[in-house]
Amino acid sequence: MAFQNRRALMAITCCVIASGAFAQNSVESYPNKPVRVVIPFVAGGGGDNQARLILTKAAQELGQNFVFENVAGAGGNVGAVMVSRATPDGYTLLYGTNGTHGINHALYKNTGFNPLKDFEAVGRLSSIPAMLVVRPGLAASNPGELVKLMKEKPGSFSFASAGNGTTSHLTGEMFKAQAGVEAVHIPYKGGAPAMIDLIGGRVDFMIDVMPNTAPQVRGDRVKALAVTSAQRLGSFPNIPTLIESGMDGFQVTAWDAVFAPAGTPAGIVQKINTALNKALSNPELRQQLASRGSEVYPSSPTELSRFIATEMERWGMAVKRAGATID
C-alpha cells in the first residue's frame, strides 16, 4: 500500500514538474504564431484607427503579426465578452477603452464581464481628449455662439455620437447640461458613420475623440470650436478649450489600453507590456499620435489595474449625472 502511495506521489510530482516546464516553455517561446487583437468597435472609426496604428508597432517589437478583428456591439461589450472567454494564452487580446472598462458598467445593467476580474491589465496606450466640431456652414465660430443659436431655437439642433453610452454621447449630454440647452441625440453605430453625417450636414455638432475629429478638421470638412482637455493642444494651438470658452471645469479625456483574458501567464503579459512601451517610445509614432491629438501614456500592468478601478468610479459618476442608461 505504501509502495502504491509512493508511486502515485511520484506520478503527481512528475506531472507538476512537466506542467511547470511546459508553462515556462510557452512563455519563453511566446509569441510563435500570430496574435488576434479584438477591436470592439466598427472599422474605420477613431478607436479602430488608433488601435491599428499603435499595435502594429507593438507587433513589430514582438516579432509576430497581429491580426485585427472588429467585433462591434453594445458599446464595445460584445467584443470584450468574447475576449474575456478566450483561452488565456496571450494569443487573444482586447483593445479596451474608457468605454469598455469605465463607462459601460454604470450604463448597462449587465455588460457580461467584470473589467477587474475577467481581464489581465497589460498596458495603457494613450490619453485622448475630444473636440467639439460642427457641420459645414453652421453659423458658429466658438462654443458661445453655438450655445446662443441653440437657445434661440430650442429643440431644433441635433448632436451625433458613436452610439448610446459612448464617450461622445456622454460628453454631448454633459455639454447640454452645463450650457443649459436642448439638442436631439442621434446615436450611430460608431464614430465613422456619425462623422460622415456631420460632414454631410445631416446633424449639427458632435464632441468626439481626437482620432476621429482631427483628420476631418485638418481636411476642412468640419469646423472645430473647442477641445475638452485642460490646456490647449500643441497640435491645434489655435483652438481654445471649453474651459477657456466659459464652461468652467469642463474636462473630458478618453483613454485606451490592452487587456488579456484573466489567467494569462504573467510572463506573457510582461512581454506584451514591454513591446507596447517600446512602441510608444518610437519618435515617429509619438509624432503621429500627437498630430491626432493623442498623448502617449505607457504604464505597467499594475498601474493600469489601479487606474481602471478609479476610472470605473469617475465615469460612473458621469453616467449618473447625465442620466443615461441602457437595458
Q: Which residue has the cell 484607427?
A: 49
Q: Say whether domain 129-227 belongs to CATH 3.60.15.10.
A: no
Helix count (H) and strand count (E) of the chain? 11, 10
Average pLDDT rounded to a whole number, residues 116-142: 96
pLDDT at 142 over 60: yes
Q: Give tens-digit pLDDT for 85-117.
A: 999 999 999 999 999 999 999 989 899 999 999
What pLDDT band is residue 66 in, cutting at 50, 70 and 90?
A: very high
**Which pLDDT score is estimated for 21?**
47
**Which pLDDT score is estimated for 320?**
82
Give the CB-side neighbour count of residue 250, counting CA atoms within 13 A: 27
Average pLDDT rounded to a whole number, residues 50-69: 97
pLDDT at 19 over 50: no
Q: Are 205 and 135 in contact (CB under 8 A)?
A: yes
Average pLDDT rounded to a whole number, residues 197-221: 95
| pTM recorded for the entire structure | 0.79
Average pLDDT rounded to a whole number, residues 312-316: 89
pLDDT at 151 over 60: yes
The fold adopted by the segment(s) 33-128+254-322 is D-Maltodextrin-Binding Protein; domain 2 (3.40.190)
CA distance 97 to 325: 19
pLDDT at 324 over 90: no
Average pLDDT rounded to a whole number, residues 219-236: 95
Helix (H) or strand (E) holding 36: strand 35-39
**Which pLDDT score is estimated for 222?**
98
Q: Are 182 and 150 in contact (CB under 8 A)?
A: yes
Comparing 150 with 47, the larger pLDDT belongs to 150
Considering the chain, what is the average pLDDT of its residues? 91
**Which pLDDT score is estimated for 255?**
94
**Where are the chain's structural domains?**
33-128+254-322, 129-227
CA distance 174 to 122: 31
**Which pLDDT score is estimated for 25?**
60
**Which pLDDT score is estimated for 204?**
98
**Which pLDDT score is estimated for 317?**
83
- Spatial CB neighbours of 50, under 8 Å, sequence gap ≥ 6: 125, 126, 128, 211, 256, 289, 292, 294
- Spatial CB neighbours of 48, under 8 Å, sequence gap ≥ 6: 39, 41, 42, 70, 192
Average pLDDT rounded to a whole number, residues 252-263: 95
